[in-house]
Amino acid sequence: MRDLRKYWQEIREIEKSLPEYVWLMSLGNPRGQKAGCIAQVGAAAAARLLHANSHRLATGEEMQAHQTHEDEAKRLAFHEGLRKRGIAVAVPGDAERSSGLR
C-alpha cells in the first residue's frame, strides 16, 4: 500500500505551485480516456491530475485555440437563435462578396 501521507504531501506541494485556476490538457490512457481535451480546473483538482500523470498544463497556443473555437461556437449559436426567431442580420457588402460582383 502506498504511503498516503507522502501522497498528500506531494499533492499539496504541486497545488501550492499553481494559480487558483489552471488549464489542463488530457493525455489519454488505455482505459479509453480521450487525449487532447482541454479544461479549466481549480488548483486542488489540477494537482491530483498532474500527480497522476493523466493531464499536463496546456500551452498558450492550446488555450488560444480553445478560446477561438468557443467564441466561434457562441457567435454561430447567437445567429442561429436570431434566425429561428425570424430576425435577419445583413452586413453591408456581404451580398457583393458572396455573389462575386465586387
pLDDT in tens, 49-81: 999 999 999 999 999 999 999 999 999 999 999
51/35 Cα distance (integer angstroms)? 17
Query: What is the reported pLDDT for 102?
Result: 45
Say yes or no: 17 and 45 in one domain. yes
Neighbours of 85 (CB within 10 A): 7
Residues 45 and 84 in one domain: no
Task: Output the pLDDT for position 94.
Answer: 61
Residues spanned by the domain of 94? 63-102
- Count CB atoms within 10 A of the CB of residue 16: 9
Residue 11 has pLDDT above 50, yes or no: yes
The residue that leads in pLDDT, 16 or 33, is: 16
**Total domain count, the chain:** 2
45 and 68 housed in the same domain: no
What pLDDT does 87 receive?
A: 87
Categorize the per-residue pLDDT at 30 as very low, low, confident or very high, splitting at 50, 70 and 90: low
Q: Are residues 46 and 88 in the same domain?
A: no
Considering the domain architecture, whether residues 70 and 44 belong to the same structural domain is answered as no
Is the Cβ–Cβ distance between 54 and 27 less than 8 Å?
A: yes
- Nine-digit cell at 83? 434566425
Place of cell 500527480: 51
Q: Are residues 15 and 51 in the same domain?
A: yes
Residues 44, 94 within the same domain: no
Q: Are residues 46 and 69 in the same domain?
A: no
Q: Same structural domain for residues 12 and 50? A: yes
pLDDT of residue 51: 95
Please tell me the predicted confidence (pLDDT) of residue 95.
57
